[in-house]
């Protein structure tokens, strides 16, 4: 069977180091044992995902937070179930396995010449980080880049090093907000949508693509705000999460409406999401 | 047509000939409606039955096993070995019905036809020899649940078989559908068929087609209603109310493709990764880690099942509905929401709406 490519066969990966992000969320830097696999994998697109194997526990899908333009490969994972719990217990030097990349990814090239508006809530920044870094690496391709990011508390803001950089760089507008101000937070307090109409914010609406990722409640409200502000449904893009076993359109778990999220998604426009007819 | 005939008493010689090269699967009768597919051995060979109700547990499992090992993983001191073994033997299914054959055709297009090829399915499929049996005995081969006429998959398959057998009364008519089948027919036990035999085949099929139950399945209207999303929520709710969430319909379906994957320990530092048939009827089918389940209500899950099977989008993609008219779901469903009933419920409720 080995001469035919086996799409279910994961490739051995080695964990390099683990960094705590926020409560229950860690970033795992890793590389493939086989250098060729690493090179093949590095062709991924922002918005794609991979299947991570923790042998004996199982396999789970995870977004790819790095941009393909970055050197290192890493996952940012929240503990939510048996696989992610087991993954969190892994230490640098230990082995696991990865398959992928899978899914359609964001069509970053087709957004050239447009304003990119990133709206993220909580760990919704994980898949969007890839696009943001990619867009910054290809800065001349895009018009304005605006980031709106909110979390429950200041301690739950992710990727703080990146946020600091984005806050200080010219050519990016990065706005942060928290639901509850603690730890001497001096920034905005309120949901992500509350940032859109702040006097210091000039939101780009015409010729813009809005990337929206976050918890379902946030998603619903942000969509409502964006539509009211004049965004087209096809100019709002997001990624869907579903229970998945294979990642290659066979196991059937992620099938909604006329799409298999793993191969037809996980990136969909809001117009498509509405048609699929299931909760985000 | 290079049709052949074989004497009734000689038909099991086909099995003997196949057994020289293949493990042979054939249908057996216990009693009444109780039938099953099993491997032919020297001792059960005489019990093979060609006319009998189609077994509920479909022969799909010989290409897509109910439980199948994908790989073994050996760990030792942070050294991980992934071992994929292939021990697929050539297999022949003797007496597979036209509906089940169409099911395999659907699986072919699904597992091998999209962006990724399922190598486990492919390995089995490549070594499969199919001897199709045309259903001709009304009340025995063809039961009240059968509706292959409506799905255009029977009673006589038009493709996918290596050999096709049909009972002409005194003899069996044998036709080859592939090169491999053609070669098989060169054996001297097959005699050339005459024009008369062919005419008899036509007559018998014509009669058989007339003897299907009146209340057949009106797919075209239902495909249209489902595809354009005009089925009422209350119709889905009614279907959901009747569903007992047993998953039976999916396990007997020759065209269902869903599976789950699970790891289990098999020894010291060794685990195996298995895939197992899964069912969209079950509540946990879409439940994600952390507990969020985008499909909560039963009717929502039923809606998805029938959408997946009948929506125009998927028919275009797989070139067929994911229903082959075998009637198994209708026979096993405790709540009478097998495919024909659902098609009928949707057609009636939605047509009424259309008329308004």
- Does the structure show a pLDDT above 80 at B356? no
Instruction: With CB atoms and an 8 Å threshold, state whether B115 touches A81.
Output: no
Which residue in B308, B261, B254, B242 sits closest to B280, CA to CA? B308
Interval A45-93: pLDDT, tens: 999 999 999 999 999 999 999 999 999 999 999 999 999 999 999 999 9
Instruction: With CB atoms and an 8 Å threshold, state whether A4 touches B78.
Output: no
- The answer to whether the beta carbons of residues A47 and A132 sit under 8 Å apart is no
Identify the residue whose tokens are 């923790």: A54
- The answer to whether the beta carbons of residues B104 and B130 sit under 8 Å apart is yes
Cα–Cα dist A212/A231, whole Å: 12
- Does the structure show a pLDDT above 60 at A110? yes
Minimum-distance CB partner of B78 among A58, A80, A95: A95
User: What is the nearest CA distance from A191 to chain B, expressed in angstroms?
Assistant: 22
Maximum Cα interatomic distance, chain A, rounded to a whole number of Å: 63
The reply to whether B342 falls in a domain is: yes
Of the residues B180, B209, B238, which one is the last residue of a structural domain?
B209
Instruction: With CB atoms and an 8 Å threshold, state whether B307 touches A241.
Output: no
Average pLDDT for residues B95-118, to the nearest whole number? Answer: 94
What residues of A are in contact with residue B257 (Cβ under 8 Å)?
250, 252
Distant-in-sequence, close-in-space partners of B35: CB < 8 Å, separation ≥ 6: B27, B28, B29, B49, B52, B53, B54, B55, B56
The reply to whether B294 falls in a domain is: yes
Buried b (16+ CB within 10 A) or exposed e, A205-221: beebbbbbbbeeebbeb
- The answer to whether the beta carbons of residues A7 and A24 sit under 8 Å apart is no
* pLDDT, mean over chain B: 92
- In whole angstroms, how far apart are CA B11 and each of B8, B197, B200? 5, 17, 19
The residue among B80, B266, B322 with the most chain A CBs within 10 A of its CB, best to mutate, is B80
What residues of B are in contact with residue A12 (Cβ under 8 Å)?
80, 82
Interval A140-195: pLDDT, tens: 999 999 999 999 999 999 999 999 999 998 889 999 999 999 878 999 999 999 99
- Does the structure show a pLDDT above 80 at B296? no
Cα–Cα dist A72/A115, whole Å: 27
For chain B, the domain total comes to 2
The reply to whether B154 falls in a domain is: yes
Find, in chain A, the residue whose alpha carbon is nearest to that of B262: A58
The reply to whether B70 falls in a domain is: no
Structural domains present in chain A? 11-102 (2.40.30.10), 108-239 (3.40.50.80)
- The answer to whether the beta carbons of residues B157 and B105 sit under 8 Å apart is no
Classify B88 as helix, strand or coil.
coil
Polymer length of chain A: 280
- In whole angstroms, how far apart are CA B158 and each of A200, B99, B153, B266, B306? 70, 11, 8, 45, 26
Of the residues B209, B243, B258, which one is the last residue of a structural domain?
B209
What residues of B are in contact with residue A240 (Cβ under 8 Å)?
none
pLDDT-derived band of residue A1, with 50, 70 and 90 as boundaries? Answer: very low
Interval A122-143: pLDDT, tens: 999 999 999 999 999 999 999 9
User: Do residue B171 and residue B234 come from a single domain?
Assistant: no
Identify the residue whose tokens are 């994998």: A41
Per-residue pLDDT, A2: 44
User: What is the nearest CA distance from B242 to chain A, expressed in angstroms?
Assistant: 22
Range of weakest confidence among A44-58, A175-189, B137-151, B341-355: B341-355
User: What is the nearest CA distance from A221 to chain B, expressed in angstroms?
Assistant: 18
Range of weakest confidence among A37-46, A132-141, A195-204, B6-15: A195-204
What residues of B are in contact with residue A263 (Cβ under 8 Å)?
114-116
User: What is the nearest CA distance from B97 to chain A, expressed in angstroms?
Assistant: 25
User: Do residue B228 and residue B170 come from a single domain?
Assistant: no
What residues of B are in contact with residue A250 (Cβ under 8 Å)?
110-111, 116, 118, 257, 259
pLDDT-derived band of residue A4, with 50, 70 and 90 as boundaries? Answer: low
Minimum-distance CB partner of A55 among B75, B288, B308: B75
Within a 10 A sphere around the Cβ of B151, how many other Cβ atoms? 20
A7 touches chain B (CB under 8 A): yes
Cα–Cα dist B302/B308, whole Å: 10
**Backbone torsions φ then ψ of B294, nearest 5 degrees:** -65, -20
Cα–Cα dist A84/A69, whole Å: 26
Cα–Cα dist A48/B238, whole Å: 39
- Does the structure show a pLDDT above 70 at B220? yes
What DSSP string runs through A13-57?
A: EEEEEEEEEETTEEEEEEEESSHHHHHHHTT--TT-EEEEEETTT
User: Do residue B257 and residue B288 come from a single domain?
Assistant: yes
Per-residue pLDDT, B292: 84
Instruction: With CB atoms and an 8 Å threshold, state whether B118 touches A257.
Output: no
The reply to whether B331 falls in a domain is: yes
User: Do residue B168 and residue B243 come from a single domain?
Assistant: no
Tokens of A275: 């048609």
User: Do residue B96 and residue B194 come from a single domain?
Assistant: yes
Find, in chain B, the residue whose alpha carbon is nearest to that of A80: B290
Cα–Cα dist B350/B221, whole Å: 9
User: Do residue B192 and residue B229 come from a single domain?
Assistant: no
User: Do residue B314 and residue B225 come from a single domain?
Assistant: yes
Domain with B293, as residue range(s), is 219-267+279-355
Find, in chain A, the residue whose alpha carbon is nearest to that of B77: A94
Of the residues B209, B230, B256, which one is the last residue of a structural domain?
B209
Buried b (16+ CB within 10 A) or exposed e, A118-139: bbbbbbbbbbbbbbbbbbbeee
Q: How many CB pairs under 8 A join A and B?
A: 123
Average pLDDT for residues B174-199, to the nearest whole number? Answer: 95
pLDDT-derived band of residue B216, with 50, 70 and 90 as boundaries? Answer: low
Strands B4-7 and A267-269: unpaired
Classify B132 as helix, strand or coil.
strand
The reply to whether B339 falls in a domain is: yes
pLDDT-derived band of residue B318, with 50, 70 and 90 as boundaries? Answer: confident
The reply to whether B260 falls in a domain is: yes
Identify the residue whose tokens are 């057609």: B347
What residues of B are in contact with residue A93 (Cβ under 8 Å)?
78
Cα–Cα dist B290/A122, whole Å: 15
- In whole angstroms, how far apart are CA A277 and each of B56, B229, B317, B322, B340? 34, 10, 20, 21, 25
Helices (H), chain B: 11-19, 98-113, 119-126, 148-151, 179-184, 195-210, 219-227, 233-242, 248-252, 298-310, 312-318, 328-332, 339-355
- Does the structure show a pLDDT above 60 at B267? yes
Average pLDDT for residues A209-236, to the nearest whole number? Answer: 95
Instruction: With CB atoms and an 8 Å threshold, state whether A4 touches B117.
Output: yes
Rg (CA), chain B: 22
pLDDT-derived band of residue A3, with 50, 70 and 90 as boundaries? Answer: low
User: Do residue B135 and residue B235 come from a single domain?
Assistant: no
Average pLDDT for residues B3-26, to the nearest whole number? Answer: 96
What residues of B are in contact with residue A252 (Cβ under 8 Å)?
257-259, 278, 280, 308
Per-residue pLDDT, B175: 96
- The answer to whether the beta carbons of residues B98 and B153 sit under 8 Å apart is yes
Cβ-in-10-Å burial (0-12, 13-18, 19+) of A203 comes to: buried
Find, in chain B, the residue whose alpha carbon is nearest to that of A247: B116
User: Do residue B14 and residue B142 come from a single domain?
Assistant: yes
- Identify the DSSP state of B138: B
Instruction: With CB atoms and an 8 Å threshold, state whether B257 touches A252.
Output: yes
The reply to whether B273 falls in a domain is: no
Classify B349 as helix, strand or coil.
helix
Distant-in-sequence, close-in-space partners of A239: CB < 8 Å, separation ≥ 6: A47, A63, A127, A213, A265, A266, A267, A268
Classify A270 as helix, strand or coil.
helix
% of chain B exceeding 70 in pLDDT: 98
User: Do residue B172 and residue B300 come from a single domain?
Assistant: no
Range of weakest confidence among A74-78, B13-17, B21-25, B207-211: B207-211
User: What is the nearest CA distance from B318 to chain A, expressed in angstroms?
Assistant: 12
Minimum-distance CB partner of A80 among B86, B273, B289: B289
Which residue in A263, A258, A254 sits closest to A277, CA to CA? A258
Average pLDDT for residues B140-168, to the nearest whole number? Answer: 94
Tokens of B145: 């649940």
Instruction: With CB atoms and an 8 Å threshold, state whether A58 touches B84.
Output: no
What residues of A are in contact with residue B119 (Cβ under 8 Å)?
1, 4-8
User: Do residue B55 and residue B138 come from a single domain?
Assistant: yes
Cα–Cα dist B110/B117, whole Å: 9
A98 touches chain B (CB under 8 A): no
- Does the structure show a pLDDT above 50 at B248? yes
User: Do residue B203 and residue B233 come from a single domain?
Assistant: no
């Amino acid at each position: 069977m080995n001469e035919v490519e086996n799409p279910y066969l994961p490739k051995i990966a080695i964990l390099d180091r683990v960094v705590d992000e926020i409560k229950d969320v860690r970033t795992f830097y890793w590389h493939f044992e086989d250098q060729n696999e690493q090179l093949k994998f590095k062709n991924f697109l922002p918005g794609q995902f991979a299947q991570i194997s923790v042998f004996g526990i199982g396999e789970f899908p995870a977004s790819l937070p790095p941009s393909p333009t970055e050197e290192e490969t890493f996952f940012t994972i929240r503990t939510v179930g048996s696989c992610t719990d087991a993954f969190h217990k892994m230490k640098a030097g230990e082995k696991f396995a990865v398959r992928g990349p899978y899914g359609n990814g964001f069509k970053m090239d087709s957004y050239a010449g447009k304003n990119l508006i990133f709206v993220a809530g909580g760990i919704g920044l994980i898949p969007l980080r890839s696009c943001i870094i990619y867009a910054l690496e290809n800065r001349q391709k895009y018009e304005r880049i605006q980031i709106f990011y909110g979390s429950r508390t200041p301690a739950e803001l992710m990727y703080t090093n990146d946020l600091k950089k984005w806050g200080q760089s010219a050519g990016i507008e990065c706005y942060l907000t928290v639901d509850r101000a603690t730890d001497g937070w001096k920034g905005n307090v309120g949901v992500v949508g509350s940032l859109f109409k702040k006097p210091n914010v000039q939101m780009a609406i015409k010729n813009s693509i809005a990337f929206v990722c976050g918890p379902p409640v946030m998603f619903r409200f942000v969509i409502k705000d964006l539509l009211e502000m004049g965004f087209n449904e096809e100019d709002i893009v997001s990624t869907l999460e579903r229970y998945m076993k294979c990642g290659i359109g066979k196991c059937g778990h992620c099938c909604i409406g006329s799409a298999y999220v793993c191969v037809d998604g996980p990136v969909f426009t809001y117009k498509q999401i509405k048609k699929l007819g299931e909760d985000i | 047509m290079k049709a052949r005939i074989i004497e009734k008493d000689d038909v099991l010689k086909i099995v003997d000939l196949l057994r020289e090269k293949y493990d042979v699967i054939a249908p057996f009768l216990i009693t009444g409606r109780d039938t099953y597919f099993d491997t032919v051995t020297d001792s059960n060979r005489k019990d093979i039955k060609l006319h009998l109700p189609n077994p509920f547990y479909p022969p799909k499992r010989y290409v897509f096993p109910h439980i199948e090992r994908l790989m073994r993983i050996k760990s030792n001191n942070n050294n991980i070995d992934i071992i994929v073994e292939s021990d697929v033997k050539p297999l022949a299914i003797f007496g597979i019905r036209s509906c089940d054959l169409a099911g395999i055709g659907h699986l072919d297009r699904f597992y091998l036809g999209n962006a990724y090829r399922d190598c486990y399915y492919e390995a089995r499929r490549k070594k499969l020899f199919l001897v199709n049996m045309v259903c001709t005995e009304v009340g025995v081969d063809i039961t009240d649940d059968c509706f292959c006429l409506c799905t255009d998959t029977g009673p006589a398959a038009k493709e996918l078989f290596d050999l096709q057998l049909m009972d002409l009364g005194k003899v069996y008519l044998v036709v080859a559908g592939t090169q491999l089948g053609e070669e098989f027919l060169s054996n001297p036990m097959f005699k050339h068929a005459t024009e008369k035999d062919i005419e008899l085949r036509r007559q018998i099929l014509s009669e058989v087609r007339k003897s299907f139950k009146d209340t057949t399945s009106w797919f075209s209207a239902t495909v249209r209603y489902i595809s354009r999303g005009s089925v009422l929520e209350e119709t889905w709710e009614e279907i959901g109310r009747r569903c007992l969430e047993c998953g039976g319909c999916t396990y007997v379906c020759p065209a269902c493709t869903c599976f789950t994957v699970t790891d289990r320990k098999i020894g010291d530092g060794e685990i195996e990764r298995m895939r197992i048939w899964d069912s969209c009827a079950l509540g946990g089918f879409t439940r994600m880690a952390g507990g969020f389940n985008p499909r909560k209500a039963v009717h929502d899950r039923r809606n998805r099942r029938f959408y997946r099977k009948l929506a125009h989008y998927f028919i275009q993609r797989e070139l067929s509905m994911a229903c082959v008219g075998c009637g198994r779901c209708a026979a096993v469903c405790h709540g009478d929401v097998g495919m024909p009933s659902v098609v009928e419920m949707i057609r009636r409720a939605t047509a009424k709406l259309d008329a308004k």
